[in-house]
Chain A
Amino acid sequence: MNGVMEFLRTTGGLLGLFIETLYWCKSAISNSDKVFAQLYIIGNQTLPVGALIALFSGGVLALQAGPTLAQFGLEENVGGLVGLSLAKEIGPIMASILIAGRVGSAMAAELASMSVYEEIDALKTMDINPVRYLVMPRFIAMVLALPVLVIYMDVIGWFGGGLVALVNPEVHLSLDVYYRNLSELVDFVAVVNGLIKAMFFGVIISIVCCYVGLKTKGGPREIGYSVTKAVVMSFVLVLVSDYYITRILLFLNID
């Protein structure tokens, strides 16, 4: 019973924070400096690691699929397979997990620390709304940054796949053939499909991490618990919602 109550309370809290954050988006322009500061943090923390992850993920896709396709004489389709997998699924999921792990955890830790050390209370006493001041800039920055990161990782992943398809003796596909097949199969809608998912994941990660951080009470131990909770909850919600978003996108023919 306590678990059910806790689930309902958390769900209500997340929805409440989401609605309040949407309301405060009206102040985005006057708080653009805070949004850009968050964008800078996100870019700084994710671009180098994102490139590395994407390069090897694209590579491993080509490594796994290439020889199998080659057995049936279909190795020319490696480009399309890697391209579509990255654009529709692996790109948004990888970018979301990277952002949740690197940026979401830092957000949760920062807000949890601010809650524990009375900084959130100090904001309230100064009549500064914590959602406007802290959550809204993080929310907007993440919703904007995640799709951009997905495009960035897609392109690097496609390159990684092409490189492996070229050097792997079992596939040995020229880059020209690889990219021709990729560009035939990966159309604009496939990329948009991944970007829509990325935006939803950005909403989930920013709201979950900020909510868990703001609700933290206690001391340093609770800050640690909150960070773990925020990251795990983000992962689970991203992966579960991915299925339902995919269903909705299929229904809407954005596929």
Chain B
Amino acid sequence: MERKIEEQESNTTLLGAVTSEQNGRTGSVLLDYLKCAAVGLKIDNINRSFGDNHVLRGVNLNIEPGETVVILGKSGSGKSVLMRHIIGLECPDTGRIFVAGEDINDPEFKRNHVLAMVFQSSALFNSLTVSENVALYLREHKIFTEESRIKEIVSSALEIVGLQGKEDEMPSEISGGMKRRVAVARALVMNPEVILFDEPTAGLDPMMTRTIGDLICDLKHQIQITQIVVTHDIDLAFYVADRIAILSEGRILEVGTPDQIRSSTNSGVIDFIKPQFA
């Protein structure tokens, strides 16, 4: 109940704010542009080794359209490797990943589907300004012919992540939390069907962690986009997740709603989610 109230409060902060009557015009430009076509995702028995290191050991996971799933696990459990497989940066030794029923390694896949990823390091291009970073996908793929339309979408995306007025700043001139939000804006303008967040709150202060958590919740409620969040931040996981998957030593230990995970009797899950300093 508390969580629901918190979620409602958070919805008035970012997307909620920009879609309000006062600020709605600019923010809604991006919301109109996003096609909101949520898709499901199926990870089918993924195995991956690096030399002798068997990182992923038969990972299976189904994600429903529009669902926010958090993959929770300690450092080195294979979370980021799994994420890189989902986005197509790595190929599994065995197993397949399907988005909307299509194998992501199918040559035609990228023509039909767009997946976006927010990297742990934000991975902004240091030689480009904030707005150029956000506009890069639109310009390189020539999504719009009119430069004014690109600027409109970029301004809208930056407003949605609370960074209006930062268009001309260089990535080196903004904080880590701002970089993470620029990376979210860059992912949003791709009009993706799935957004993947790799450790979105790593290295951020508690206030910025909350802002990023709110942003993920807002995307879930306003755009109904399918989101996968990889983290070892337990608070964030319980705050944003529809379901949580616990990954340990390359295997999914348990999948369930936050309440199911809290009441789990699996010792691996209990050890992981219990407060460490209580």
Q: Which residues of A does B touch, CB under 8 Å?
A: 110, 113-114, 117-119, 121-122, 124-128, 133
Give chain B nearest CB distance to A111 CB in angstroms. 12
Please name all residues of chain B whose beta carbon is closer than 8 Å to the beta carbon of A122 when the two chains form the complex: 117, 119, 123-125
Please name all residues of chain A whose beta carbon is closer than 8 Å to the beta carbon of B126 when the two chains form the complex: 113, 119
B3 beta carbon closer than 8 Å to chain A: no
Q: How far, in whole Å, are A127 and B126 apart by their CA atoms in the complex?
A: 19
Give chain A nearest CB distance to B133 CB in angstroms. 9
15 extra interchain contacts, Cβ-Cβ under 8 A, other than A113-B126, A118-B119, A125-B89?
A: A114-B125, A117-B123, A118-B121, A121-B84, A121-B119, A122-B119, A122-B123, A124-B89, A125-B87, A125-B88, A125-B115, A125-B116, A125-B117, A126-B116, A133-B140
Q: How far, in whole Å, are A122 and B196 apart by their CA atoms in the complex?
A: 12
Pick the contact of A128: B116, B123, B124, B137 (CB < 8 A).
Answer: B137
Give chain B nearest CB distance to A73 CB in angstroms. 59
Give chain B nearest CB distance to A132 CB in angstroms. 9
Give chain B nearest CB distance to A140 CB in angstroms. 18
User: CB distance B89 to A128 under 8 Å?
Assistant: no
User: CB distance A117 to B141 under 8 Å?
Assistant: no
Pick the contact of A118: B114, B116, B123, B137 (CB < 8 A).
Answer: B123
Give chain A nearest CB distance to B56 CB in angstroms. 18
B136 beta carbon closer than 8 Å to chain A: yes
Q: How far, in whole Å, are A27 and B261 apart by their CA atoms in the complex?
A: 51
Q: Which residue of A lies closest to B89 (CB)?
A: A121
Q: How far, in whole Å, are A124 and B87 apart by their CA atoms in the complex?
A: 9
User: CB distance B119 to A127 under 8 Å?
Assistant: no
State how many residues of chain B have any CB contact under 8 Å with chain A. 22
Give chain A nearest CB distance to B122 CB in angstroms. 8
Please name all residues of chain A whose beta carbon is closer than 8 Å to the beta carbon of B110 when the two chains form the complex: 127
Interface positions of B from 36 to 88, Cβ below 8 Å from A: 84, 87-88
Please name all residues of chain A whose beta carbon is closer than 8 Å to the beta carbon of B136 when the two chains form the complex: 126, 128
Q: Which residue of B lies closest to A124 (CB)?
A: B89
User: CB distance A126 to B140 under 8 Å?
Assistant: yes
B185 beta carbon closer than 8 Å to chain A: no
**Complex interface bits, B105-120 against A, C-beta within 8 A gives 1, otherwise 0:** 0000010001111011
B190 beta carbon closer than 8 Å to chain A: yes
Q: How far, in whole Å, are A87 and B140 apart by their CA atoms in the complex?
A: 41
Q: Which residue of B lies closest to A127 (CB)?
A: B110
Q: How far, in whole Å, are A199 and B16 apart by their CA atoms in the complex?
A: 57
Please name all residues of chain B whose beta carbon is closer than 8 Å to the beta carbon of A127 when the two chains form the complex: 110, 114, 141
Please name all residues of chain A whose beta carbon is closer than 8 Å to the beta carbon of B84 when the two chains form the complex: 121
User: CB distance B123 to A121 under 8 Å?
Assistant: yes
Closest 9 CB pairs of A and B: A122-B123, A118-B123, A126-B137, A125-B117, A118-B119, A128-B140, A119-B123, A118-B121, A125-B87
Please name all residues of chain A whose beta carbon is closer than 8 Å to the beta carbon of B124 when the two chains form the complex: 119, 122
Q: How far, in whole Å, are A133 and B128 apart by their CA atoms in the complex?
A: 13
Please name all residues of chain B whose beta carbon is closer than 8 Å to the beta carbon of A128 when the two chains form the complex: 136-137, 140-141
Please name all residues of chain B whose beta carbon is closer than 8 Å to the beta carbon of A114 when the two chains form the complex: 125
User: CB distance A119 to B87 under 8 Å?
Assistant: no
**Complex interface bits, B136-153 against A, C-beta within 8 A gives 1, otherwise 0:** 110011000000000000
Q: What are 11 contact pairs spanning A and B, CB under 8 A?
A: A114-B125, A117-B121, A117-B123, A118-B119, A118-B121, A121-B119, A122-B124, A125-B115, A125-B116, A125-B117, A128-B137
